[in-house]
Amino acid sequence: MRRKRYAFRGVPAGVVLSLLLFVASCTATHRDQRPDRMVLRIIETSDVHGAIFPWDFIRNRPAGGSLARVMTYVREQREDTSQAVILLDNGDILQGQPVVYYYNFEDTVTPHICARVMNYMGYEAGTVGNHDIEPGHAVYDRLVREFSFPWMAANAVRDDNGKPYFKPYTVLNIKGVKVAVLGLITPGIPKWLPEQIWSGMHFEDMVRTAEKWVPLIREREHPDVLIGLFHAGADYTYGREKASTPRNENASLLVVKDVPGFDLVLIGHDHKLFNKKAEAPEGKEVEVLDPANAARWVSSAVITLTKNAGGTYDKEVRGELVSMKGISVDPDFRQRFAEDSAVIMQYVSRPVARFTRSVSSVDALFGDSPFMGLIHTVQLQLSGAQISFAAPLSLSSHIDKGEIHVRDLFKLYRFENLLYTMRLRGSEIKDYLEYSYGMWFNTMHSPQDDLLKYREDGKGKHRLAAPYYGFDSAAGIKYVVDVRKPSGKRVTILSMADGTPFDPDRWYTVALNSYRGNGGGGHLTRGCGIPHDSLASRILTTTEKDLRYYMMHWMEKKKVITPAPLGNWQVVPEKWVATAEKREKRYFR
């Protein structure tokens, strides 16, 4: 790297030399004044998803995890004067609970609840997550201004000048000890989110970005400690990716393996607890921690620095995951934000409509259901499309008949996806469904076989082999799924819903959410074989606001709603399916 040259024109050489010696002596004095020993405790939250209060506003019951409990733990650690505490957040806080939705879109005048809470808690830095990008420019640009700490993502790069859109890193000075924190975001965002949400930037490979910034940080800042704060998971093979896949979604361990210099790496995004050491290129092992989601756990690492004869520090790093279960709510936190909690309770309790029957997302796992029939109906009516694709976005949501409220809409439709209308050929529609049911259903040879595809977790429990939010069914067409047949040959499309012929060579308009329309889950890319860079050309229309917003207003107009299966598709053989459903539903209760 070319070093900068500084010219001192017109300044006597003796003055220049004296100035340089003075600067050097100040630097040496500064380094000598650093403590001989220091203990740092690094606390990480990640994927909080709106779990700010100890109350689940969607299910209307106490919540196990919350920042209100994390505050108690942080305060206890700060009271220990033998250590210095650094509190960090690793992204994905702006979606998940009505409290953040309300301050994202309903009340945009009051300072955002996340900014007020996290500033109060004393966060030193944070990394942006993909669910922080999803609410859109107006929301995350506002948070950048309102946070009193840097919100980072070195690999979210501006299109106009090639510089990071967010701050790439920060340096914390603690009694002369310099702690640098590099932030990276998962680069998979263009596969899930519409471009209008992240316009003006692009997302670069995490490993390539770390290879660029780590040497720069070391040259510019000379940190004593370097921490990676990466909103990306540990499993780089997730989604059929490989270590060599460009812009790998979960490249955190690849960064540790390929880029020397990190003392501690804190990760997230995948909602999985992780506490392991990973080998770095310089031969040392780096502690890697992930506290999963919803503020039920925090990562807590202790870095002990001991000055050596050379004036630098020897470092010992020890990490653990700390459960928030049983930790009391911080009383000052509760009192300070009590009014916000009351505002959200009033918001989610507002009546929307009346259901004449109960609905459950569990029913959607086993076939045509009232839960999915309602979502398909709304999508078709809002879009005017001929066909609808949709999946359950919650595994165990139940809405009782009677008066439903705003909170129930978050059970029915969990995420803030836009609604797209796209052009798909008839043959692509069939391929799309084959891909979905290939992930969803097992091949049955008798009634005793499982209907759903599972993977064993080693404890005798059944876990779905693929994410339930990838189990797309269709409306607008009549079709049969034969689970006796192998994957890829199960779906027979009989006709359009009105009985007119379905043509594999004809183009159809299809309603589906923006996550799927941008390639999320692989239904359009791997299933239909549409190149990812061609998806945008297939989009005919998009809503301006999220589907839940329009769904809520649709229900308010209807007033009384009878959710029902649409009766347009079935799984055969029916007796086998009924037997399996009765047996397997107990796994989801």
pLDDT confidence of residue 32: 65
List phi, psi (to 5°) of 141: -65, -35
Q: How would you classify the pairing of strands 177-185 and 225-231? A: parallel
Asked if the peptide bond before residue 573 counts as cis, ω within 30 degrees of 0, the response is: yes
Terminal CA-CA length for the chain:
60
Three-state DSSP at 178 gives strand
| Residue closest to 431 by CA, chosen among 371, 385, 479, 469 | 479
Fold of the domain built from segment(s) 351-588: 5'-nucleotidase;  domain 2 (3.90.780)
Is the pLDDT at 55 greater than 70? The verdict is yes
Rounded to 5 degrees, what angle do the CA atoms 199, 200, 205 make?
95
What does residue 198 show for φ and ψ, rounded to 5 degrees?
-115, 30
Q: What is the pLDDT of residues 355-372, one digit of tens each?
A: 999 999 999 999 999 999
What does the pLDDT read at residue 459?
66
Interatomic CA distance for residues 394 and 361, integer angstroms = 7
Residue position matching structure tokens 């300072």: 111
Contact 157, 201 (CB under 8 A): yes
Task: Note the pLDDT tens digit of each residue in 297-347.
Answer: 999 999 999 999 999 999 999 999 999 999 999 999 999 999 999 999 999
Whether residue 3 is predicted with pLDDT greater than 80 in this model: the reply is no
In the prediction, which pLDDT does 460 show?
65
CA-derived radius of gyration, the chain: 27
Question: What is the DSSP secondary structure assignment for residue 396, as one 8-state letter?
Answer: S
More confident residue, 448 or 5: 448
Residue 461 has pLDDT above 90, yes or no: no
Distance CA 540, CA 517 (A): 11
Q: What local confidence, expressed as pLDDT, does residue 19 receive?
A: 44
**pLDDT of residue 68 exceeding 90:** yes
Closest by CA position to 502, among listed 532, 531, 527, 479: 479
Contacts of 13 (CB under 8 A, 6+ apart): none
> Using CA atoms, how far apart are residues 514 and 518, in angstroms rounded to an integer?
6
- Short-list 125, 113, 196, 186, CA closest to 418: 196
DSSP 110-135: SPPHHHHHHHHHT--EEE--HHHHTT
Q: What does the alpha-carbon distance between residue 118 and residue 147 come to, in Å, rounded to a whole number?
A: 8
For 489, what's the count of Cα atoms within 13 Å in the CB-facing half-sphere? 4
Whole-number percent of the chain with pLDDT over 70 = 94
Of the candidates 586, 430, 404, 396, which has an alpha carbon nearest to the alpha carbon of residue 508? 430
- Residue 143 phi/psi, 5-degree rounding, is -65, -35
Identify the pLDDT of residue 12.
Answer: 53
Whole-number pLDDT of residue 281: 95
Domain ranges in the chain are 34-344, 351-588
Largest CA distance in the chain: 97
Here the tokens at position 536 are 């945008």
Considering only 18-27, 90-99, 332-341, which range has the smallest mean pLDDT?
18-27
User: Does the 34-344 domain belong in CATH 3.60.21.10?
Assistant: yes
Res. 249: pLDDT tops 60: yes
| 346 within 8 A of 99, measured Cβ to Cβ | no
pLDDT value, residue 22: 42
pLDDT band for position 462 (50/70/90)? confident
- Which tokens hold the place of 368? 């045509």
Res. 33 pLDDT band, cuts 50 70 90: confident
Residues in the chain: 589
- Please enumerate in sequence order all residues whose Cβ is within 8 A of that of 288, keeping only pairs 6 or more positions apart, or say none: 234, 252, 253, 256, 265, 266, 267, 274, 275, 276, 277, 278, 319
pTM of this structure: 0.90
Rounded-to-integer distance, Cα 319 and Cα 289, Å: 7
